[in-house]
């Protein structure tokens, strides 16, 4: 087969080797549309890198991972004026070093060093962890990581899961090229559909592509244009970023090299472009029934009777005979039974009583007739063993009397060293699982790290989150330290709930909507990725954030993640943004339950119509049941969904 683009317009965002890329595309008969999208910028001054080098010299870091060649050069350059370079190199020769691929190994060779281990192709974090598993024990060992640009949350989580203590050091970041006009032009042409193929050679190219589109107010147009453009990715790491950004990947080369990418894209270009244009036609984009969705359901992880429930099937992407339904805050103040129990003790006392927590939830499940139960608890008790003084004040809600505001305050934020400090929650899971019918799945939950952090910083609810954003942007390490400790605690907390009997877990990010997509990506997403990677494999995880529909593509996580959708966007648009290969939950406006039965039934039908019968939809409200909701209206909603969503044979 000939390897020729035959005049197709081939876009690339390659920077360091932009000229080489243009020559190769032209050599294979394409119209080269190459626009550098980023440049590596050293972090200067970089006190953490200097401290890192001293720790290597003094033997505090016995294992070091080198992720990139250019990063190793920057590390040496950044530290050379502050650390005796020969001592640093000698120390590196004495410790265990792991090179992610040939480039850091080549730079080590220039300085007379030889890596202890080299990661095989395609040199992703997965192969890196496999190499570690096969070659060296890392439990209880400090593992230094020379990062490239952004933290690899999956790698960090993988190291922690193996008992290591990761110590990342950033030595450079990625900014726009000094001349952004070619990139701007490529973004405009891609948005207009005037490119046939787009070649990605780096994961971060995806980030800067959308940063530029956002600055040009072309984000939606770019997504529409890319839907008609064939996309080739150099390898798994880049492909993961593309999919996380809600973009398709039409091909990867046989080897993660630029030459292979271009030559193999040229060889297959006619088919790639034809298939992409066919898939982009309206009759392929509009789903009318479940059979239109090409999705491989996930397997169940055990044989508990609830695994065959409608809810669990929908989480896994399986087709169901009708749509499962449950309601957030389905056991709450709108129910007289709950008010009767609540009147006898404070809210925190109720949360600490597993039998009463089970009673109020099982009562709600029985009265409403829902298809799933969620444990009765609250987002904030996890903060108590971490050193926060929490009180629920009548009329004011939760109040934290010792909030953290600056980096030095993190010294008093404790790790969740003893998970059994929250043993009453795990007992609630066990008791509720015991009291529920076996076929009803049980959902555990936790607050997401941003929401917990905002409570810990603001001391309660807030409208502007000024103190939270001030610490978030301070760039003094305080935000990262707080998010690290919360993330570690949440992973332990959710896994303990799963061990106690939960079939699914949900993260509630009640305040994430105060962030832009860019801020969420920078200040929240790395820790969310760590949580998703750290929760027991195969257990569905519902990621629910409210307030900003632009965050939806960032909530996708891995294949077992279900994206919760609030009421601020219609379900059809939301699911399109998330991607139809991911299950979703939502999203009726809770105020509809304050109306009448015909209105409730019509609103339920509208949400179901937007779901269009696709597998993977769980009906829920776009937030919790409101206190003034008549119980009869909640019952009517559940009944309506169960009747209206029955699939015809």
Catalytic residues, which ones? 329, 333, 342, 378, 455
Task: Give the β-pairing of 9-12 and 117-118.
Answer: unpaired
User: Structure tokens of 642?
Assistant: 């169960």
Whether 374 and 443 have beta carbons less than 8 Å apart is answered as: yes
**All residues at 6 or more sequence positions from 632 whose CB lies less than 8 Å from its CB, including other chains:** none
Question: How many beta carbons lie within 10 A of that of residue 19, not counting itself?
Answer: 12
Whether 10 and 267 have beta carbons less than 8 Å apart is answered as: no
Task: Report which of 329, 397, 392 is spatially closest to residue 361, judged by C-alpha positions.
Answer: 329
Q: What span, in angstroms and rounded, lies between the C-alpha atoms of 623 and 633?
A: 16
Task: Report which of 533, 550, 457 is spatially closest to residue 495, judged by C-alpha positions.
Answer: 533
DSSP-derived letter for residue 379 is S
Q: What span, in angstroms and rounded, lies between the C-alpha atoms of 518 and 510?
A: 18
**Helix/strand/coil for 287:** coil
Q: Please tell me the chain's helix, strand, coil percentages from 3-state DSSP, rounded to the nearest 5.
A: 50, 15, 40
Helix ranges (DSSP H) in 280-353 = 282-285, 310-316, 336-342, 347-351
Q: What span, in angstroms and rounded, lies between the C-alpha atoms of 531 and 446?
A: 11
Task: Report which of 562, 572, 9 is spatially closest to residue 326, judged by C-alpha positions.
Answer: 562
Task: Report which of 198, 200, 150 is spatially closest to residue 171, judged by C-alpha positions.
Answer: 150
Helix axes of 525-534 and 153-161: crossing angle, nearest 10 degrees: 40
Q: In a 10 Å sphere around its CB, with 0-12 CB exposed, 13-18 middle and 19+ buried, how is residue 460 labelled?
A: middle
Q: What span, in angstroms and rounded, lies between the C-alpha atoms of 180 and 200?
A: 18
Whether 199 and 241 have beta carbons less than 8 Å apart is answered as: no
**Helix/strand/coil for 463:** coil
Whether 476 and 470 have beta carbons less than 8 Å apart is answered as: no
Query: Strands, E, within 126-221: which ranges?
Result: 142-146, 165-169, 172-175, 197-200
The string of DSSP codes covering 252-279 is --SSSSHHHHHHHHHHHHHHHHHHHHHH
Task: Give the β-pairing of 39-42 and 172-175.
Answer: antiparallel
Q: In a 10 Å sphere around its CB, with 0-12 CB exposed, 13-18 middle and 19+ buried, how is residue 643 labelled?
A: exposed
Whether 153 and 527 have beta carbons less than 8 Å apart is answered as: yes
Q: What span, in angstroms and rounded, lies between the C-alpha atoms of 23 and 3?
A: 15
Cα within 13 Å of Cα(434), Cβ side: 12
Q: In a 10 Å sphere around its CB, with 0-12 CB exposed, 13-18 middle and 19+ buried, how is residue 313 labelled?
A: buried
- Cα→Cα distances 127→203, 255, 541, Å: 17, 14, 25
- Cα→Cα distances 443→376, 508, 522, Å: 10, 12, 29
């Amino acid at each position: 087969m000939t390897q020729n683009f035959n005049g197709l317009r081939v876009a690339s965002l390659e920077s360091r080797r932009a000229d080489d890329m243009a020559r190769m595309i032209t050599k294979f008969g394409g119209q080269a549309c190459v626009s550098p999208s980023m440049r590596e910028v050293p972090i200067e001054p970089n006190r953490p890198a200097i401290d890192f080098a001293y720790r290597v010299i003094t033997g505090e870091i016995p294992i070091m991972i080198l992720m990139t060649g250019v990063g190793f050069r920057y590390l040496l350059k950044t530290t050379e004026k502050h650390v005796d370079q020969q001592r640093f190199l000698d120390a590196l020769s004495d410790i265990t070093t792991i090179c992610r691929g040939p480039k850091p190994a080549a730079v080590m060779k220039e300085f007379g060093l030889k890596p202890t281990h080299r990661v095989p192709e395609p040199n992703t974090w997965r192969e890196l962890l496999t190499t570690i598993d096969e070659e060296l024990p890392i439990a209880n060992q400090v593992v230094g990581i020379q990062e490239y640009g952004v933290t690899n949350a999956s790698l960090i989580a993988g190291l922690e899961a193996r008992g290591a203590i990761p110590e990342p050091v950033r030595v450079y970041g990625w900014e726009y090229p000094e001349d952004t006009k070619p990139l701007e032009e490529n973004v405009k042409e891609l948005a207009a559909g005037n490119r046939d193929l787009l070649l990605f050679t780096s994961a971060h190219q995806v980030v800067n592509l959308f940063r530029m589109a956002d600055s040009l107010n072309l984000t939606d147009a770019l997504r529409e244009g890319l839907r008609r453009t064939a996309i080739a990715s150099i390898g798994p790491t880049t492909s993961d970023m593309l999919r996380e950004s809600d973009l398709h990947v039409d091909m990867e080369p046989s080897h993660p090299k630029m030459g292979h990418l271009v030559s193999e894209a040229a060889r297959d270009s006619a088919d790639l472009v034809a298939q992409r244009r066919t898939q982009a036609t309206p009759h392929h984009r509009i789903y009318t029934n479940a059979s239109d969705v090409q999705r491989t359901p996930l397997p169940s992880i055990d044989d508990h009777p609830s695994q065959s429930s409608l809810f669990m099937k929908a989480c896994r992407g399986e087709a169901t005979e009708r749509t499962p339904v449950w309601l957030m805050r389905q056991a709450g103040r709108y129910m007289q039974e709950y008010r009767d129990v609540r009147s006898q003790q404070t809210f925190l006392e109720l949360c600490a009583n597993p039998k009463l927590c089970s009673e109020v939830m099982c009562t709600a499940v029985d009265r409403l007739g829902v298809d799933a139960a969620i444990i009765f608890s609250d987002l904030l008790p996890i903060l108590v063993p971490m050193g926060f003084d929490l009180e629920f004040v009548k009329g004011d809600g939760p109040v934290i009397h010792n909030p953290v505001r600056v980096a030095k305050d993190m010294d008093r934020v404790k790790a969740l060293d003893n998970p059994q400090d929250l043993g009453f929650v795990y007992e609630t899971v066990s008791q509720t699982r015991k009291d529920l019918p076996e076929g009803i799945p049980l959902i555990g939950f936790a607050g997401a790290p941003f929401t917990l952090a905002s409570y810990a910083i603001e001391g309660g609810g807030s409208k502007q989150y000024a103190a939270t954003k001030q610490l978030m942007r301070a760039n003094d390490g305080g935000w990262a330290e707080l998010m690290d400790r919360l993330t570690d605690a949440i992973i332990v907390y959710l896994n303990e709930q799963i061990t106690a009997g939960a079939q699914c877990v949900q993260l509630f990010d009640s305040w994430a909507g105060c962030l832009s997509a860019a801020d969420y990506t920078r200040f929240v997403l790395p820790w969310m990725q760590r949580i998703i990677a750290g929760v027991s494999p195969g257990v569905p995880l519902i990621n629910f954030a409210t307030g900003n529909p632009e965050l939806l593509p960032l909530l996708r996580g891995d294949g077992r993640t279900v994206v919760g959708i609030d009421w601020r966007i219609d379900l059809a648009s939301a699911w399109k943004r998330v991607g139809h290969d991911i299950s979703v939950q939502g999203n009726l406006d809770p105020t509809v339950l304050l109306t009448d039965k015909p209105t409730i039934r019509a609103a339920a039908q509208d949400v179901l119509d937007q779901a269009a019968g696709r597998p993977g939809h769980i009906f829920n409200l776009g937030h919790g049941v409101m206190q003034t909701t008549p119980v009869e209206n909640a019952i009517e909603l559940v009944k309506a969904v169960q009747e209206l969503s029955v699939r015809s044979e």
